[in-house]
């Protein structure tokens, strides 16, 4: 399946906005379903378990051991989703903006070349 593409470089901002919203919604929903097991019954989101790294001799092949201590860190679910919503929107916006800007540049360059060939 091929996605619709703009016919002129002037249409790129509209398409970029549409693709940004669609990709943002898909990514946010997918991450929500992947993290369902980290949500507690009382509506909190499990972030991580604090740990201390064990001492090592410094050898390159020696791994670090994590010794858990304290209580696991939980944050309210709404706060986590708000942060993800904003962070995901910014990241996908930057990616779509870069790709769309490159496409717009190439489309404009092609239109200029076609215009110069038609004049000759």
Mean pLDDT of all residues belonging to the chain: 78
pLDDT of 22 reads: 92
pLDDT above 90 (res 90):
yes
pLDDT of 36 reads: 75
Pairwise pLDDT comparison (26 vs 52), residue with the higher score:
26
> Domain residue spans in the chain?
10-46+76-119
Pick from 20, 4, 6: nearest CA to 108: 6
């Amino acid at each position: 399946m091929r996605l619709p593409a703009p016919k002129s470089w002037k249409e790129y901002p509209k398409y970029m906005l549409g693709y940004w919203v669609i990709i943002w919604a898909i990514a946010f929903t997918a991450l929500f379903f992947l993290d369902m097991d980290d949500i507690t019954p009382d509506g909190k989101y499990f972030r991580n378990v604090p740990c201390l790294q064990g001492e090592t001799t410094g050898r390159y092949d020696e791994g670090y051991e994590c010794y858990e201590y304290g209580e696991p860190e939980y944050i309210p679910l709404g706060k986590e989703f708000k942060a993800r919503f904003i962070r995901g929107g910014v990241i996908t916006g930057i990616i779509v903006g870069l790709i769309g800007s490159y496409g717009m540049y190439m489309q404009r360059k092609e239109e200029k070349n076609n215009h110069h060939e038609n004049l000759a």
